[in-house]
Structure 1
Amino acid sequence: MAAVRLCEPSELYNLLNQRRGGVSRLAEVNYLYLIDARESQDYHTSHIITAKNSSAGTLLLPEWVEVDSMQQVVVYDSSSSSVQDGGAPAGRQRMSLNPVLILRGGFQRFSAMYTFLRTEKILYTMTELENLKVYPVEVIPGLLYMGDLSQGRDGSVLRDLKVRAVVHISQSGAPESEHSHCSAHLLPLSSLPDHLFLVHLHSVFSESNLDVGSRVLIVSRLGRSRCSAVAIAFLMHHFKYTLDVSDAWKSVLKCKPSMRPNSGFLQQLFNWELHIKGTNLTDISQPYF
């Protein structure tokens, strides 16, 4: 029996903005099935990108959806705030890889937060799906984003997300800001694994106004190792999280499953935990690290 749970808008946002091999994961046939359970007229007026209409007008999951073969199934209506609002999804009687997700707040809340992910488009070719714009993942809703260098240079991405500062994790000189509304900051790194890059974190967090609620995008070349290490470090700093998989590591991994700080950065995060907590509470020799 498939479980059913609510998901926050930021969780769906991150599902829509995953990439594998430089291509949007929405092109994978068994990655995500997004169902718009509103009336057809509402769906045709505007819906979340790649959503399909069930024409049911309720949260009942259509029988034709192959839940057992999909990695993720998300259902939304206009404004549901619980799994009981529109009736339990019919798919709960079938096995699935993950719980069927009901979008908290439905289309109204999601589209208010992510206007740029609304569309009237219904049919996509495989080429169109592969080339869909992929936005940086959202680590802390409305505050902290993580992406690659190309996303940090894309003016439309920065405007859509209302980013006020971009922190470049780089080995080269400080970048010039190409956008008047957005400041650029450099966190210089050496490729050597024992480089003490975290000594720069306090100044970067302060200069980019991360601590006072400014929307900040952290980017590195591929957006997997360097920027994820800094994002994890910020969660440890901001929420006083441990490094452990139940805290900072898990939070960033949930946002971006492909994230992978290298062994040198992992050691620095271990040192950062000692700095934040006064003691080390995480065993980084565990295989999941």
Structure 2
Amino acid sequence: MAEIRMCESFELFNLLNQCSCVSRLAEINYLCLIDAREPQDYKMSHIITAKNAKMDSESTFLLPEAVEVDSMQHVVVYDSNTSVLHGQDRAVECAQELAKASLCPVHIVRGSFQRFSALYPFLSTEKIIYTIMELENLKTYPVEITAGQLYMGDEKLCMDSSIPKDLKVCAVISISDNNTLESIKGNQTITNIPVADSVVSDLYSSLERICSLIGSHINMASRVLIVSRHGRSRCSAVTIAFVMHHLKYTLEEAWKYVLKCNPNVRPNTGFLQQLSDWELHTMGTKVTDISGPHFY
């Protein structure tokens, strides 16, 4: 039987917004998202792509039809407002049935639909059935690094003005060798840090300024979006540096934290070495061995 754990709303948000060329929600074995509320509540509004859990005549939750739970990478359940693992909440009872078949941990969203829909109303829907093409073309958002504070993504995400608006982003920090975003009209302040995605580029000398800038926005309750052209190398290096600075994480801890938010990110080897130097600066010593295979 798989373990049952709680997860935060922003963790589900990040799962819903993973993307390679298209949304990962189009992958049949990627995410099993189950709404354990009453059918009438589900039909009124639910989290995008969620399936409503059905019960048998003895009020026992059934495994979802046409879904191979044991092959799923992620299994997530929510009800109306469950926040603990103990008790007879619908999400807990449903998770217990899913855990019998799942090979990975089953997660229950803390605060469930009530909290998630309040934080991300734009990810609630009445739509029940999707074609593969519709799933591939779902709008994706930047991943959320620290809840309600910091986001990370690629430049294209800023081209759609509704995305920063939905996330209430007030400041965009662009790590780029051009000023692509300068012409974009919006209510966000845009700061461009001119750094090319090259192993010989100097990012280190800008990290103090960037971390201070992000921190000042967050202290004023302003949300920040960090972007680079592809959202893979430069913005992830800056995000890792900020997590090290803000949360006092080692390089390895910050690396794993950001990788959990978006498994596709990879700072280039030059930036990795500069992050190692940044660890020395922030912690007074180099704790992390960057020669390990998980850094490449």
TM-score of the superposed pair, with normalisation by structure 2:
0.91
Distance 1:243 1:61, change over 3 A: farther
Per the TM alignment, residue 199 of structure 1 is displaced from its structure 2 partner at its CA by 1.3
Contact 1:170/1:220 (CA < 8 Å) preserved in 2?
yes
> Cα 1:243–1:44, aligned 2, differ >3 Å: closer, same or farther?
same
**Structure 1 partner of 2:240:** 232
* Alignment partner, residue 223 of structure 2: 215
Residue equivalent to 1:242: 250
Which of 86, 90, 99 aligns to 1:92? It is 99
The answer for the alignment partner of 2:11 in structure 1 is 11
- Superposed counterparts of 1:147-162, under 5 Å: 147-162=153-168
Are positions 1:286 and 2:285 aligned together? no
Q: Which moved more, 1:40-49 or 1:198-207?
A: 198-207
Aligned counterpart for 1:257 among listed residues 254, 263, 269:
263
Question: In the alignment, which residue of structure 1 is the partner of 2:23?
Answer: 24
Identity %: 56
* In 2, Cα distance between equivalents of 1:267 and 1:168: 21
The alpha-carbon distance between structure 1 residues 256 and 191, as it changes in their structure 2 partners (threshold 3 A), is closer
Distance of 2:135 and 2:60 partners within structure 1: 27
Q: State the AA in 1 paired with 2:265.
A: M
User: Aligned partners of 1:191, 1:254: CA distance in 2, in Å?
Assistant: 22
Equivalence for 1:271: 277
For 2:139 and 2:213, locate their aligned partners in 1 and report how far apart those are by CA, in whole Å: 29
The 1-side partners of 2:26 and 2:138 are apart by 9
Structure 2: gaps (5+ residues): none
CA offset at residue 60 of structure 1? 6.4
Structure 2 residue matching 1:33: 3-state secondary structure: strand
Distance 1:191-1:26 versus aligned 2 partners, 3 A rule: closer
User: For the residues of structure 2 that align with 1:124 and 1:109, how far apart are their CA atoms?
Assistant: 25
| Distance (whole Å) between structure 2 residues aligned to residue 202 and residue 214 of structure 1 | 19
Query: Are 1:34 and 2:29 counterparts?
Result: no
Query: Structure 1's 56 and 37: CA in aligned 2 closer, same or farther, altered over 3 A?
Result: farther
- Residue 237 of structure 1 deviates from its aligned partner by 1.1
Measure, in 2, the Cα distance between the counterparts of 1:223 and 1:234: 16
Within-5 A mapping of 1:34-113? 34-56=33-55, 62-64=62-64, 65-85=67-87, 86=89, 87=93, 89-96=96-103, 98-113=104-119
**Structure 1 257/192 Cα, relative in aligned 2: closer, same or farther at 3 Å?**
closer
Instruction: Give the superposed CA RMSD.
Output: 1.9
Shift of 1:241: 1.2
Q: Which AA in structure 2 matches 1:93?
A: K
Q: Partners in 1 of 2:197 and 2:11 — Cα distance?
A: 32
Could you tell me how far 1:61 is from its partner in structure 2?
5.0
Contact 1:75 1:103 in 2 (8 A): yes
- Quick one: structure 1 residues 192 and 70, their matched pair in 2 at CA, closer, same or farther if it must change by over 3 Å? closer
Asked whether the equivalents of residues 211 and 245 of structure 2 are also in contact (C-alpha less than 8 Å), the reply is: no
Q: C-alpha separation between the residues in 2 aligned to 1:204 and 1:285?
A: 26
| TM superposition shift of 1:116 | 0.6
CA contact (8 A) 2:198 2:268 kept: no
CA distance in 1, matches of 2:264, 2:206: 25
SS at match of 2:83: coil
**Aligned residue pairs, count:** 284
Is the Cα contact below 8 Å between 1:205 and 1:211 reproduced in 2? no
Aligned-residue offset at 1:7? 0.8
Using the alignment, how far apart are the partners of 1:60 and 1:234 within structure 2?
A: 46
Instruction: Determine the C-alpha separation between the residues in 2 that align with 1:232 and 1:104.
Output: 26
Q: Is the 8 A contact 2:72 2:102 kept in 1?
A: no
TM-aligned CA deviation for residue 12 of structure 1: 0.4
Q: Is residue 155–residue 231 contact of structure 2 (8 Å, CA) maintained in 1?
A: yes
Q: Counterparts of 1:53 and 1:192 in 2: how far apart (Å)?
A: 47
